[in-house]
Amino acid sequence: MLAVLPALAGLAVTAPTSSRGVAHRVLLRCARDGAFADRALSSAIEGAGGLSGGDRALATELVYGVLRHTRSLDHSLAQLATLNRTALPTAVALRIGAYELLHLSTPDHAAVDEAVSLIGAKAQRRFVNGVLRNLARGRGRLVSPDADPRLGARAALAVRTSTPEWLLDDVARALRGGEAAALEEEGGEAAAAEAEVVAWAEASQRAPRLALRVNEARCTADAALSALVGAGVDATLHPAAPGCLLVRGGGAPHRLPGFAEGHWTVQDAAAALIGALAAPAAGGAVVLELC
């Protein structure tokens, strides 16, 4: 993990007038102030004004992508420079550039140049430029967390999936039925249990599709889907949750067709299934939801 310092005098942060500027501002707020990413991102996008749908989508991808991969990005960057005194705005710019180089299809020169443009001070711009150019040239020679001799298996998984080790330990205990059961496991059983922990951590890194629960008192799922697809949104019916839709890359939900009309609400499919599984009797049942 990078050890970062607060913003220093002379480090101007680019005003959020581009997708990367918005992402930089949001990630700074998350790291410095503990801001909630979804609220900070929505506010920054609205405040930027004039961003195209593609720019809004890129800003969203950069924010959530960097947050999902922060520890693995820092592990890669730390192999190329001494970063233990890196100012926070510079560290965030490096993470954005590294995410584009390692996880997106952005051309190398664009990823580097755009990250450099996020920093004001010349010395820091040269630093970001040098580190990211070295990353672009040498990414194939990076030591992965799994091959890092300083890391044990659990620590390597924590870095690779950017998951706190304490959380992996809690998941392991839950999957194994508690500490006593974990101590009794041997050989193949222990390996199988650890494989479940790895699978859970890796699944947690995958970007989920946005789930919408259709308000069937106002609209059918097919009609809601037709409206979304007609607006160019990548949407499908949920394969396991009747009355739910899955959306990818649609931008801010409140801008999508059907939101203002109350045709659907954002809700995870697992939560939406509770109502169907409870199956309250029509007309006579009173259902109290406590959460």
**Cβ pair 247, 233 in contact under 8 A:** yes
- Give SS3 for 259: coil
Q: What is the pLDDT along the chain (291 residues), one digit of tens a residue?
A: 455 544 433 344 444 568 999 999 999 999 999 999 989 998 898 888 778 878 888 998 999 999 999 999 999 999 998 777 889 999 999 999 999 999 999 999 999 999 999 998 899 999 999 999 999 999 999 999 999 999 999 999 999 999 999 999 999 988 877 554 444 555 567 778 889 999 999 998 888 889 999 998 899 999 999 999 998 888 999 998 989 999 987 677 888 899 999 999 999 988 888 877 877 776 667 777 776
**Which pLDDT does position 185 carry in this prediction?**
53
Contact 112, 33 (CB under 8 A): no
The predicted structure's pLDDT at residue 261: 94
Using alpha carbons, list the distances in angstroms from residue 225 to 102, 131, 270, 274: 34, 45, 19, 22
pTM (2 decimals)? 0.78
